Structures are given as structure tokens and as C-alpha cells.
Structure 1
Amino acid sequence: MAPTSGSPKVSFTGPQIGTPVRAPKTAELIAGHLRRQIVRGELQPGRTLPPEIQLMEQYGVSRPTLREAFRILEAEALISVRRGSRGGAQVIAPEVAVAARYVGLLLQIQGTTINDVYEARMITEPPCARLLVERHTEDDLAKLTEVVEQLKAEVHSSKPFVPDPDTWSRLTYRFHELILQGSGNKTLAIQGAVLADIVATHLRTKIARGYDDEPSERFQRVIRSFTKFIGIVKTGDAAAAEKHWLSHMEAAAQFLLKDDLKTKPVVDLFS
């Protein structure tokens, strides 16, 4: 009998009949069960899991199987295992750094350029600046101001000013990070955080190469731009904040991407 008009079409995209389907290993099932408990907050960071013998009885598995499950969770940075009589598996908080390393590897494998990374940031960060104005707290303003004060201290720390690549890249990226966090959008904040290592490494490379003009003046302009942004946030002008931050990032990109670093593959930064 032919289907009536409007009947939904059912498609099956899974394995075809006869195709072997690998059943999850017992260790993977145990790791999955513990992972869900950690993600849901049922197992809090800092808590030590029950002794191995107790878990072996609970899951009905051997010690090698349980330890394989532990290795899976260790690789995901969800637990830390200490061996010995006083050892055990302790829950640790998931870190953005774990995702950052993996995303960084994916970008490197695909031959992603630095320009590509900056383009993505310029698409996502200015709208976050707008959201920051609408959702910011006094604590957000205090943290942004603290970064500016630390940058000022760096500029005045030596005459002539010679920026330390590690310190300057860390502080300026912290300002970007605070905008993403202050936007209130956790997805965008984490997305920005996973690019931190790439962006900071690129900035360190650029600073280490030197400048075509007076470094003190260039870095003073960064501080003035950051200060202006904080002032805009205080006025509550969301549109102006978004416009200013886009302008700031475009100006920064002109400086940071004007030489061969623009087309430099991400992988070369870490080689």
C-alpha cells in the first residue's frame, strides 16, 4: 500500500544489516558511568573515589578492567590517580586547557593559518563586548581595570620600555578573556578560551621579533584603547562598545598580521 500524502519519510542512517557493531568495552562503560557522575556534580572535585577493591565489587570487574577505566578518565583530566598504599583516584575539575590542547591540534593538522584564527575572534568578540555592557557587574569592571593597571605598571617598569613577551601577552589576552566571560555566554567564553594558547603564542612571537616604531607608544595605545572601552561600558552604550572593540581588534590585527605571520600555519608556532 502506497504511503498517503504527507506521510513522514523514515530514514535509517545507522549501520546496515550485517555490519559488525563494536560493543563498548566494560572499562568504557565504567568510565562513562563515573564521567556522568562527575559532570552532574554527584562526584565533586577533590573527592576521592572508593578503594579499588570496593569498586571492583560494585562493578563486578577485575582490577585491570577498573584501572583501564581510570586511565580513560585520567586522559580526559577528570581524575588523578596516585599509586601506592596511600593512593587512590581523586576527582578533579575539568579544565578548558584540555579542550584547548585538542582544538589546537585539530587546527594544526588542518593547516589553519593565524589569519583564520583572528578572523574567527573578530566575528565573536565584538558582540560579546555588547553583551558585557548589558550584563556587567562591578566585579567585571574591577577586573578589567586591574588588567589596565598591571599593563601601565609594565610600561613604566623600565626606561626605555622593553616588553616581556610572556607577561604582555598574558595580560592583554586576559582583557579579551574578561570580555568573553562578562558577556554571560558560557559557550562563547569557552570558545574563546580554547584559542588562548594560540593567540598568546602568536603575540609572544610577534613581540619577540621587535617593532618598526617606538614600542612604548604602541603599547600605550593599547592601554588607552582598553581604558576607553571600560569608560564606554560604564556609560551603558552597548552599540558603542561593540563598535569600539571591533575597531580595536582590526587595528591590532593590522599590526599583528602585517608580515609573514599572517599566513603562518598554526602548527609552525609550536614547532
Structure 2
Amino acid sequence: MSRSPSASTPRLSLIDVPKSCDILASMLREQILDGTIPDGSMLPAERELVEQTGLSRGSVREGLRILEAEGFIKTRSGRYGGSMATRPTGAMVSEQINVFARISGIPLTSIVEARVALEPMLARLAAVNRTDEDLAQLEAISKRIVAASNDVPTYLQENVNWHCALAQASHNELLHTFTVSIAQLIREATSIKNMAPLEIRMIVIQAHDKILQAIADKDPEAAERRMLRHVQAYAEHVKQLMKKSSATTGKSKKSA
């Protein structure tokens, strides 16, 4: 006679066991990051990895595909092919964040909010940490922005270059990487009709001059304050344009 489980018998939850390909990818990733596998060195061939790990060839291949997608290895085919370890660069991370924003459909308002949160601190750090070379680069880009004030596409690109140069002048690599990642998103957004009319372009140039002066003077409080005023004004401009766009779209749908 079988014994029925009592009400007090504990119930076990499902156990989530990692896939073998994920475990392999994690092991190799950590070894690339800590330098055990030097940047630029070749990983063992698939057959060797199968022998060393006891995994199936399919699991090994999938683990390598994961690392390649993450930018930790580069794989080439052919007689002298194989997988080479590569440490992700700031540019690669920026591109991944950019792609994430596109795939996720993050709205322009969220991107602008991130800018408002980020750039005042970048301006403060730039005022503290900037070098003469950083300052010279910002001044050179400012001159190009003025020269391109009537050439909207060039103006917009130089404006993005200015903000990326300011992030570089902060000498905070993490913040710089994030700024670069959203810079192109902002560039594409500002190409929308009426996003950067001549009046706005002139206001931006004046704001940049004031921020740049504070950075040149190594005045972090003024740099942060002026940048906050600048990005908040831009955020309000975007907000108003989005409202007008929504209203116009709504009218068009009613007319249809």
C-alpha cells in the first residue's frame, strides 16, 4: 500500500540548470577579462575545446557564438582560421547601447531625460579635469559649429561632436562611453523638421560659449549650472515639438 504524501511534505521548486554553452561562454569571458587569455591571442580550436571541456561540438560552437556576439572574440574561417580573444572597447559598448535603444523603441523623451541627467555632471567634471588639449578641441569644434550655422546637417553633426568632446574632457570613461552611445540617437532626432531652426541654432551657440568659458576658467559650479540650463531648455523645446507633432497627427487621423 503506497503512502500518500502528508500536507506538511515540502514541495521543491523547479531547478534552473544553466546550459553548457552558457557555462563555457562565462568561463572564457572571465578569462579574457582577467587577462588569463590575453587580448589578441587565439583560443583553442573547437576540437580541443571539446576534448578539454567534455562538451559536445554543438555546445562549444554555441558558446563561441555567444562570445562573438558580445564582442569578446573574432572568428575567421579557413585553413588558418579560429577564434581570437578581443576585449570590448568603449566604441563597441556604445554601439551595443545604441542598438538596444533602437530595438527597445526608447522614445526621444527618454533619451533627452538621460541627457539632462548626465551632461551637467560631465560639464562639471570637464571644468575640473580638462587639459589644454581638451580645451583646444572644444574651441575648434565651436568654431566649426559657428561656420556651419547655415548648413544644418554639418551643424548638427558638429554639435554632436562638441558634446562628445566635452564628455571626453571629463576624463570619465564610463560617462564618455554612455554619451557617445546616445549621441547618434540625438543626432538623428535633431534632424527632424523644425528641431533645429536658425533661432535655436543661435541659442545653442551662445550656450556653448558660456559653458566653454566656465570650463576654460575651471569653474565647475558655473559649468554645471550653465549646462543644466542649456539641456533643460533643449528638453522643453523637444517636449513642445512632440506635443505639436501629436496634435497634428491627431488632426490628420480625424480628417481621414
TM-score of the alignment, normalized to the shorter chain, above 0.5: yes
Query: Aligned residues, how many?
Result: 233
Identity across the alignment (%): 29
Q: Which residue of 2 aligns with 1:246?
A: 228
1:1-271 equivalent positions in 2, closer than 5 A: 18-94=12-88, 95-96=92-93, 97-106=95-104, 108=105, 112-155=106-149, 161-164=150-153, 167-205=154-192, 209-210=193-194, 215=198, 218-260=200-242
Distance 1:178 1:254 in 2: 24
Conservation of the 8 A alpha-carbon contact between 1:143 and 1:178: yes
CA-based RMSD of the aligned residues comes to 2.8
> 1:181-211: CA deviations, max 9, x gaps?
3334444334433323432221122xxx247
- Rounded to whole Å, the distance in 1 between the matches of 2:177 and 2:56 is 38
Q: For residue 191 of structure 2, give the secondary structure of its aligned residue in structure 1.
A: helix
What are the superposed Cα offsets for residues 64-96 of structure 1, whole Å, 9 maximum, x if unpaired? 221111111122122222222232112334212
Which structure dedicates a bigger proportion of its chain to helix? 2
Equivalents in 2 of 1:65, 1:212: separation in Å? 51
> Comparing both chains, which one has the higher relative contact order based on Cα–Cα distances under 8 Å and sequence gaps of 6 or more?
1
The verdict on how the C-alpha distance between 1:48 and 1:261 changes in structure 2, with shifts beyond 3 A counting, is farther
Q: Which runs of 5+ in 1 are unaligned?
A: 1-15, 156-160, 265-271
* CA distances 1:218-237 after superposition (whole Å, capped 9, x unpaired): 43443343233222111121
Task: Determine helix, strand or coil for the equivalent of 2:84.
Answer: strand
User: CA 1:17–1:72 in structure 2 vs 1: closer, same or farther (change >3 Å)?
Assistant: farther
Q: Is the 8 A contact 2:33 2:87 kept in 1?
A: no
Task: Output the amino acid matched with 1:56.
Answer: V
**Structure 2: any 5+ residue segments left out of the alignment?**
1-9, 247-256
Post-superposition offset of 1:25: 1.9
Q: Is the 8 A contact 1:77 1:98 kept in 2?
A: no
Q: Are the aligned partners of 1:113 and 1:263 in contact in 2 as well (CA < 8 Å)?
A: no
